[in-house]
Amino acid sequence: MPALDELTTPAGAGDTVGGVPARLVAAPRDTAEAAALITAARGLSVVIRGGGTKLDWGVPPRELDLIIDTRRLTGVVEHAAGDLITVVRAGTPMAELHELPDQQLALDAPPAATAGGTVAANASGPRRLRYGTARDLLIGITVVRPDGTVTRAGGKVVKNVAGYDLGKLYTGAFGTLGLITECVFRLHPVPAAALFVRATAPPGHAARILGGQFAASACEVNAAPGAEPELAVLLEGTATGVRQRAAAVAAVLGGEVSDTRPEWWDVLPWPAGGVGIKLTGTLSQVPALVATAVGAGATVRGSAGAGVLYAGFPPGGACPDACVEAGRAVELLRAAAVRAGGHAVVLTAPAGVRETLDMWGPVPGLALMRRVKDQFDPGHRFAPGRFVGGI
């Protein structure tokens, strides 16, 4: 069994997570090496790094000895086109998965994001309305547990109810339950045609699209203080069908049909150093949520069709003013989200401000979640303190 120092290298200046510097970095090449590494690293605190596009999401780790980087855990292991599935190593950039011939992994994720990170963060973009999120498209997973055990759940077929669906547990767990090394995804055919309809319209008009017979793949809102709110709808399907439906949507919303996406499409609405908040709520409450967030000075984007919105505030200068302001905004949006039957989670905030915020907010079922964490990671070494309730 290789020793820890054969598997790791000293961390460099850039090897930090949420401002916390690591001591060591390792980049295992396959599941076996990852298992050897994690076994050798018993007792060390660990954070996993994929493409690093979202490493600043969540609370900074309580402590950090080792960063496990997935940049060498890459490659498509299998693409069974006839079965519409693919098996990929966790570090594979999404860019590679955006290029499967005639088929797609229908997740909106930036090219630099990795498959594993996309699963671990369970972030989602506009097309979740039609295709769901990583949670819905992941059908099998290989994970190295914090004690070094290699474990698989699910399989390679879409329909499968054998045993617990642990893939769901690791999805959105932000690396707190182990290192994902391989994922099996369900794929979709690339649609023959796609068109966007873009309109200046209040978010409430989205209901006309959802309640109609347009079978939209995405229905996005974009709203900011002092600007007219916009709606944009993506239609996918056969060439003729898409043309007809796009024309009908344009008529309902009074908008324009285009084959290019709006410049704000799938772009998170906060600049570097800003505060980014995810808001969820019931569909009928989306307009109220948007109104509250815009009223508080946020730019809001997201899926009116799924009830998942992102609100962004620009960088606010130095504390304490910025902290007070951010704290007030979070409180306001959290109350609005709760009224809407959902939640407000602060995804990112500048250092200094972050420490003053309750990033995750109240979470139902927390006691049960702690028990899950205790079972999977009894030493609390993986991403310590980053997740809900200090998990």
Partner 1 sequence: MTSIDALAARLRAAIGSSRVLTDRQELRTYECDGLAHYKVIPALVALPATAAQVAAVVRECAAAGVPFVARGSGTGLSGGALPHAEGVLIVTSQLREILDVRPDDERAVVQPGVINLQVTKAATPHGYYYAPDPSSQQICSIGGNVAENSGGAHCLKYGFTTNHVTGVEVVTPDGESVRLGGLAPDVPGYDLLGTFVGSEGTLGVATEVTVKLTRLPEAVRTLLAGFASTDQAGAATSAIIAAGVVPAAIEMMDALAIEAAEAAVRCGYPAGAGAVLIVELDGPAAEVDAQFDEVSALCVEHGAFETRIAADDTERALIWRGRKSAFAAVGRISPDYIVQDGVIPRTALPEVLRRIGEVAAEHGVRVANVFHAGDGNLHPLVLFDDAVPGQAERAETVSGAILELCIEHGGSITGEHGVGVDKATFMPRMFSDADLDTMQLLRCAFDPDGIANPGKVFPTPRLCGERPGRRQGTHPRHTPDVAEIF
Ligand X SMILES: Cc1cc2nc3c(=O)[nH]c(=O)nc-3n(C[C@H](O)[C@H](O)[C@H](O)COP(=O)(O)OP(=O)(O)OC[C@H]3O[C@@H](n4cnc5c(N)ncnc54)[C@H](O)[C@@H]3O)c2cc1C
Q: Which of residues 322-351 bind ligand X (CB under 6 A)?
A: none
Q: Which of residues 158-177 bind ligand X (CB under 6 A)?
A: 174-175
Cα-trace Rg, the chain: 21
Minimum distance, C-beta of residue 143 to partner 1, in the bound complex (Å): 8
Of 15 and 377, nearer to partner 1 (C-beta) is: 377
Please name the residues in contact with 220: beta carbons below 8 A apart, sequence gap of 6 or more: 126, 231, 232, 233, 234, 262, 265, 301, 302, 303, 304
Minimum distance, C-beta of residue 25 to partner 1, in the bound complex (Å): 27
Q: Which of residues 131-150 bind partner 1 (CB under 8 A)?
A: 132-133, 135-136, 143, 145, 147, 149-150
Range in contact with ligand X (rule: CB under 6 A) among 104-112, 194-202, 272-280, 297-305:
104-112
Minimum distance, C-beta of residue 360 to partner 1, in the bound complex (Å): 5
1 binds partner 1 (CB under 8 A): no
Angle subtended at Cα 345 by Cα 184 and Cα 64, rounded to the nearest 5 degrees: 70
Phi, psi of 95, deg, nearest 5: -55, -40
Range in contact with partner 1 (rule: CB under 8 A) among 64-72, 110-118, 236-244, 260-268:
236-244
**Partner touching 117 among ligand X, partner 1, none, CB below 5 to 8 Å by kind:** ligand X
Burial bucket for residue 168 (CB in 10 Å: 0-12, 13-18, 19+):
middle
308 binds partner 1 (CB under 8 A): yes
> What is the residue whose two structure tokens read 């069994």?
1
Range in contact with ligand X (rule: CB under 6 A) among 107-115, 225-233, 352-360, 363-371:
107-115
DSSP sequence for 201-241: --GGGHHHHHTTT---SEEEEEE-TTS--EEEEEEEESHHH
Contact string (CB under 6 A) for ligand X, positions 257-286, x = contact: ---------x-x------------------
Are the beta carbons of 341 and 366 closer than 8 angstroms? Answer: no
Residues at the site binding ligand X, with contacts judged by CB under 6 A: 47-55, 58, 70, 90, 107-110, 113-114, 116-118, 120-121, 123-125, 174-175, 179-180, 266, 268, 383
